[in-house]
Amino acid sequence: MVREDPEALRRRLYAPGASEADRARYEAAGRVAKAGPAQPAPREPEPPEDPAVPAAPPPARRRRVGAAIAGGAVVVALLVGGITAARLAADGQPSAPPPTPVPMSDEDRRTVQENLTLGNFGGIAAFLVTHRALSLGDPTRVETLERRGIGEGTVRLSPVPPETVRGRATVLLVTAGSAQVDWTTLRREVDPSGEQQYVQQEERGGFQQGGQITVHTYRYGSGDRPVELHVTAPDGVRWGAAVVFTD
């Protein structure tokens, strides 16, 4: 008689569908175990090796696998980063450099978040007026446009005075919740056939903390003023944006 493993029978009692017969088998196996060790069952001959099945990896390969397991934490971190990058590439998101976070207090971040959550503007323009955290240099003119949106959207950067035909554009962005957000500014261009087109001008992107304003400033030439700001954010994510035109 082949001896049944008491431990396997015990685990069976906790499995779905356990019956009284399983309990009786477990108790009988326990009695056999107390009576003394049973002789091991004769080992069945191993089947001949199938030539179609690849042989086991050599010892050197197993050592490399063991080393990878020993450094599991590092491997997992690298895999997560690689998967994230692959997903971003698969989604077609631009690999643009991130904008710069603006120094803010916790109270300021909460205020901006509350404004956006209530469906209002984030209050970026008011923040620029009341704080010195962001330096715009010493411009002789400042024109600010502030807008808001949800998910993916496009902001028309008008109306602005003719003096903004060239100068510097400062793009500020904030979200109500933490999310991966990208933005692109577009300028207007007329091709040789006379058709008007929109051409990508500047882009930034990255993971933004909720309530944290980010900023990027760039200079544009005469006639190349940005006319649209395109924001790419996950569905349902509220965001606020402001573009400041200076000389």
> Following DSSP, what letter does each residue of 16-56 receive, concatenated?
TT--HHHHHHHHHHHHHHHH-PPPPPPPPPPPPPPTTSPPP
- How far apart are the C-alpha atoms of 199 and 184, rounded to whole Å? 10
- Predicted pLDDT at 179: 97
- Across the chain, the runs of DSSP E, i.e. the strands, are 100-101, 142-150, 153-156, 167-175, 179-190, 196-208, 214-220, 226-232, 238-246
Q: Of the ranges 19-23, 53-57, 123-127, 194-198, which one carries the lowest mean pLDDT score?
A: 53-57
Instruction: Label residue 48 by pLDDT band (50, 70, 90).
Output: very low
Q: What digits encode the pLDDT tens for the residues 82-130? A: 433 433 433 445 468 999 999 999 999 999 999 999 999 999 999 998 8
- Predicted pLDDT at 73: 40
Measure the CA angle with vertex 108, ends 107 and 112; round to 5°. 115
